[in-house]
Amino acid sequence: MGILANNLYNLSLIAMGDQGDVESPLPTRLDFSKFDSASIAHFERLVASRFGRSWDIDIQHAGLDLKALAQELEQLPQVSSPERLHTFRETEFRDAGMVLFFPGQHGLARTFQRFSDLIDDRHSVLAVDYDGLDERVISSKTMQQSVDVFHRVLLEKHEELVGRLANGGGEVVLFGFCIGGCYAHEFARILVERHDINVRLVIFDGHPAEWYSGTGARDLFRKTKKVLQIVRAKGRIERSLVRQGRRQLHLLGKHVSVELDVPALLLRSNSIEESWGLSQEAWQPFVRECQQVDIPDLSHLDLFQRRMEARLSPYLEPGYRFVS
C-alpha cells in the first residue's frame, strides 16, 4: 500500500471513531456504506485539511478500495493550503499546561486525535504537520526553518495561550514520535529562548538528529531514492509524500542539536534494537537530564494501528514526574 492510501486509512479510522474494529495488516478496502453521514463528512474534512483537496463524489456509495480512492484524490487540484497546526483543544485555565505533538516521517498530525482525548481536559492539546504537501509554497531548507514556521503559526492562532504559558502557566510537554523527537527538541529551544516557557520532552523511539548524519542514515537516504524512482509514475501527492520523507532525513543529517536546560523522557518500544544506539545516553548531551522507559510488549506501530495510546498517555500529562 502506498503512503497516500495509508494516510487515507488512518484518517478513516479517526473519522469512524470507535465504530469499527482495527484490522492488521492494513486493509485495502473500507466499507464506507457502514459509516454514518457524520463520519463521512468528518473524513472528507480531514482529507481536505491534510491535502488541500475536496472530493465531489459520493464516497459512501462509490464502492472504492483505498488504492482507487487514492487515485481519485490524485486527480483533484489543490484548492486550499494543507493545515500545519491542528488544535484538538484550547483551554483558558491560567495554570493549565499544553501538549504539542510532533509526528513521525510523512507527518499526519491527526493520528494524535485519540491521544488528545486521553489528556486531562484542563490542558490545551495541539499537533503539527510538516511542510512539503503545499504545491504553492517552497519547502523548508533546514530544521530551523521548519520549526520557525511552527512557531509563527502557533503565535498567529494562539497568541493568548502562549502568553499564559510564558507568564507562569503550566508545563508544556512536547511529544515527538520517531523523527518527531528531533523537531520537538528544536522547538523546545524556541519556547525556552523566546518565551521562557517551562518545557518537558517526551520522545517515543526517537534518535537525536546527530544519529542521522551517521552511515546508517545515509543508507536509509539511498534506499528511499529507490522508492522515489518507483513512485515517479504515480500521482503528485504520492511523490510529494516520498520527497517529504527524504527531505526530512536530509535536514536531520545537517542539523546540529544544542544542549537545552529541559528534562526528557525516552520511551522505547520493542521495535527498536539496542544496536541502533537509541538510549538515554544518546540524548543526555542535549538535555538537562534524560530518563528511559522500555515497553517490551508495545511495537512501534501499535500505538496508532492497534489503538494503544493509553499505554503512553500518563507520561504526557503536564506536571507528570517519572520516578525510576
Question: What is the per-residue pLDDT for 12?
Answer: 86
Q: Are residues 38 and 111 in the same domain?
A: no
Residue 229 corresponds to which amino acid? Q
Tens digits of per-residue pLDDT, 35-48? 888 988 999 999 99
Confidence at 25, pLDDT banded by 50, 70, 90: very low
Residue 24 has pLDDT above 50, yes or no: no
Tens digits of per-residue pLDDT, 76-99? 999 999 999 999 999 988 889 999
Question: What is the per-residue pLDDT for 90?
Answer: 95
C-alpha to C-alpha distance for 92 and 209, rounded to whole angstroms:
35
Identify the domain containing residue 18 by its residue range: 3-74
Residue 107 has pLDDT above 60, yes or no: yes
Residue 123 has pLDDT above 60, yes or no: yes
Asked if residue 111 is part of any domain, the answer here is: yes
Which of 42, 74, 106 is at the close of a domain? 74
Which of 40, 74, 108 is at the close of a domain? 74
Q: Are residues 7 and 60 in the same domain?
A: yes
Q: What is the CATH number of the domain that holds 97?
A: 3.40.50.1820
Tens digits of per-residue pLDDT, 54-72? 988 888 887 778 888 899 9
C-alpha dist (Å) from residue 299 to 37, 155, 205, 305: 34, 35, 10, 10
Q: How many domains does the chain have?
A: 2
Asked if residue 223 is part of any domain, the answer here is: no
Residue 127 has pLDDT above 70, yes or no: yes
Residue 264 has pLDDT above 70, yes or no: yes
Q: Output the nine-digit C-alpha cell for 300.
A: 512501534
Q: Are residues 69 and 98 in the same domain?
A: no
C-alpha to C-alpha distance for 70 and 87, rounded to whole angstroms:
26
Pick from 93, 243, 250, 106: which is nearest to 168 by CA? 93
> Stretch 101-120: mean pLDDT, rounded?
90
Question: What is the per-residue pLDDT for 62?
Answer: 79
Which of 74, 103, 121 is at the close of a domain? 74
Q: Are residues 89 and 61 in the same domain?
A: no
Tell me what the pLDDT averaged over the chain comes to.
Answer: 87
Residue 225 has pLDDT above 70, yes or no: no
Q: Are residues 49 and 96 in the same domain?
A: no
- Is the preceding omega at residue 82 within 30 degrees of 0, hence cis? no
Q: Are residues 90 and 148 in the same domain?
A: yes
